[in-house]
Structure 1
């Protein structure tokens, strides 16, 4: 009898390879590469990260203001409004939806949410 046994790890690798071939994943990778190549977007990301870091530091020291929070939110809105970044965020949302559907398909027969909190004990 020569029945080939496939390990769960092999099935997991195959699933990962199949996900990488989906239009959602390919769109995400293309959008991510576009964001990485775009110097203006990279500059805006750096500016946003700097503003956010400054605000977080001010918050930790008790010196945060609504004005500072507003600056961070405006910088994020401006960044997200850039067409390259907007495409990336849309592609990311679409991929997350696909991965959530995969998670549900895996979890359903097991009654365990593997994308959520499958491990650990003492969960309510």
Structure 2
């Protein structure tokens, strides 16, 4: 590897480490752990996934009804209304906004959307 590549990769590692020190990242990690540690939330997640799977199967079979969709939406709303999940979703949103700002700072001098294009997938 040449010096420029090594330097850029080192900066990337430093950026990743700096991101883990952001208050938004720390709040996200804590909120995610709270969701994982809460048995009631985990039970509601399992219920939501069960209802979602049933809906997807019904939709694929062409038998999904408006009531099925409403049940799925209600189950999701109940999950999102639980305090640990609501806090997790808020923390996730705040982290995403902060990472978008970082993406813009990286993308500006490159004239490309770094976060959107750097993943290696082509968008023709």
User: What TM-score comes out, normalization by structure 1 length?
Assistant: 0.91
Does structure 1 residue 69 correspond to structure 2 residue 66?
no
Higher helix share goes to which structure?
2
Detail structure 1 runs of 4+ shifted over 2 Å in the superposition: 117-123
In the alignment, which residue of structure 1 is the partner of 2:83? 83
Q: Distance between the aligned counterparts of 1:122 and 1:33, measured in 2?
A: 35
Match of 2:34 in 1: 34
CA distance in 2, matches of 1:21, 1:43: 31
Query: RMSD across aligned C-alpha pairs, in angstroms?
Result: 1.6
| More divergent stretch after superposition (4-13 vs 103-112) | 4-13
**What is the TM-score when the length of structure 2 is the normalising length?**
0.91
Structure 1 segments unaligned to the other structure (5+ residues): none
Give 1:121 shift. 5.2
Question: Residues of 2 paired with 1:89 and 1:59: CA distance?
Answer: 27
Pick closer, same or farther for the CA change 1:23–1:120 going to 2, 3 Å: closer
What is the count of residue pairs matched by the alignment?
A: 120
Q: Which moved more, 1:108-117 or 1:26-35?
A: 108-117
Deviation of 1:120 after TM superposition, in Å, equals 5.2
| Counterpart for residue 100 of structure 1 | 100
CA-CA distance at 1:9 after TM superposition: 1.1
Question: CA-to-partner distance for each residue in 1:45-88, whole Å, 9 max, x for gaps?
Answer: 00000100100010001010010000000000000000110000
Structure 2: stretches of 5+ with no match in the other structure = none
